[in-house]
Amino acid sequence: MYRTLINRLVSLRVYPRVNIHLSTPKLKQASSKNVQQTKSSDTNDEVKFDYVNNTGIILLNKPKTLNALSLSMIHQIYPKMKEWESDGKTKLVIMKSTTSKAFCAGGDIKALLARTSEGERLRREFFSEEYKLNHLIGNYRLPYIAIINGITMGGGCGISVHGPFRIATETTTIAMPETAIGLFPDVGGSHFLPRLPSNLGVFLGLTGYRLRGIDNVHAGIGTHFVSTNKLEEIERKLLEIPNVNHDSVKAFLNQHANVVRI
C-alpha cells in the first residue's frame, strides 16, 4: 500500500523520489547480551547506568512497555547526563536499551491520560522535562551515541535524533505516530523532520509511516548502520577508543560502520 502511495506521489511531483529502500533483508539476530553489564542489580530499575573506561552508559530498562519514556526516567537521565558533562573525566556517553525489541517506543501515554488534577500536573511537567532533556542532548558537549536498535518512535526519536551519532540496525523501526492521536510531531519533530531530504519529513509527519532498517540511514535519521550480529563488537570497541572526542568517535564509526552521511 505504501509503495503504491509513494509511487503516486512521485508521479505527481508532490513527493520527489529519494534514495531509500522500502524493504530491507533480515540479517541474523545477535545475542541480546550487553557488552558491558550494568553494575546495578535491581531489575526493577527503569533506567540503569554503567561507567566503563570514562564512558557513561545509559540503559533503558522497561522491556514490558518497550521502554516507554516516563517522568521518573527523565528525572534519572537528565541529572546523570549533566553530571557526566561537567565531571571532567567522562569522554563519551552512550544510550541504549536492555532489550533488542525496542530502543524507546515513545512517551508513557498511559500515565499521561489520567483524568485527575494530578494527571494534568503530570502532563505539564512531563512535556517540560522531556523537552529539557531533548535540548540537553542537542547541545551536549560530550560525544553522544544513541543505539537505536528496534522500535524507536515519538519520544524515542527525541532522545536520539538530536544527538550527533545514531546507530541503526536492520531491526530499527522509526516513526512519529503522534498525528494518529491528534498531536503534532513533538520532541523536536518540527525541527528535524523538515530537514530530511525531498519532503520525506513532511510525509512522515503527516502519515506516521514507519521507516525500517537501513532506510533510516538513507533518510538521514540514523547516521550509521550496523547489523545486529556486529553490534556487540562495535559497542566493545567504542569503549576502547583512545583520546575520545567528537572527531575520533566519528572517524571510528565511519571506519567500522556503514555510513551514508553525518
* CATH number, domain containing residue 184: 3.90.226.10
Nine-digit cell at 249?
568517535
Residue 39 inside a domain? The answer is no
Q: What is the pLDDT of residue 54?
A: 97
154: annotated active-site residue? no
Residue 29 inside a domain? The answer is no
Q: Which of 17-21, 40-44, 252-256 has the lowest mean pLDDT?
A: 17-21
186: annotated active-site residue? yes
Residue 13 inside a domain? The answer is no
In which band, very low, low, confident or very high, does the pLDDT at 9 lie, cut at 50, 70 and 90?
very low
Residue 96 inside a domain? The answer is yes
Query: Which one of 106, 150, 154, 155 is the catalytic residue?
Result: 155
Q: What are the CA-CA distances from residue 194 to residues 42, 139, 205, 244 (Å)?
A: 41, 19, 9, 32
3-state secondary structure (DSSP) of residue 95: strand
Nine-digit cell at 130?
522531556
Query: Which one of 46, 108, 130, 178 is the catalytic residue?
Result: 178
Residue 35 inside a domain? The answer is no
How many angstroms separate the CA atoms of 146 and 222, rounded? 9
Query: Which one of 107, 156, 158, 163 is the catalytic residue?
Result: 107
How many angstroms separate the CA atoms of 197 and 177, rounded? 19
150: annotated active-site residue? no
155: annotated active-site residue? yes
How many angstroms separate the CA atoms of 258 and 169, rounded? 10
Q: Which residue has the higher pLDDT, 149 or 261?
A: 149
Mean pLDDT for 24-34 is: 36
What pTM was estimated for this model as a whole?
A: 0.81
- Picking from 245, 99, 97, 83, the residue whose alpha carbon sits closest to that of residue 164 is 245
- Picking from 209, 114, 116, 223, the residue whose alpha carbon sits closest to that of residue 169 is 223
Q: What is the pLDDT of residue 39?
A: 56
DSSP-assigned beta bridge partners for residue 92? 55
What are the phi and psi torsion angles at 259 (to 5°)? -125, 135
Residue 21 inside a domain? The answer is no
User: Long-range pairs for 159-162 at CB < 8 Å and ≥24 separation?
Assistant: 159/69, 159/77, 159/95, 159/104, 159/133, 159/134, 159/187, 160/95, 160/103, 160/104, 161/188, 161/192, 161/221, 162/134, 162/135, 162/137, 162/138, 162/188, 162/192
How many angstroms separate the CA atoms of 98 and 102, rounded? 9
Number of domains in the chain: 1
Q: What are the CA-CA distances from residue 115 to residues 24, 122, 123 (Å)?
A: 42, 11, 10
> Residue 122 sits in which domain range?
44-259
Q: What is the pLDDT of residue 67?
A: 97
pLDDT per residue as tens digits for the range 85-133? 999 999 999 999 999 999 999 988 777 776 666 777 888 899 999 999 9
pLDDT per residue as tens digits for the range 203-252? 999 999 999 999 999 999 999 999 999 999 999 999 999 999 999 999 99
The widest CA-to-CA distance across the chain, in whole angstroms, is 57
Residue 45: CB atoms within 10 A of its CB come to 16
Residue 153 inside a domain? The answer is yes
Q: What is the pLDDT of residue 18?
A: 35
What are the phi and psi torsion angles at 84 (to 5°)? -65, -35
Residue 6 inside a domain? The answer is no
How many angstroms separate the CA atoms of 249 and 243, rounded? 9
Please, are residues 161 and 222 in contact by the beta-carbon 8 Å criterion? Answer: no
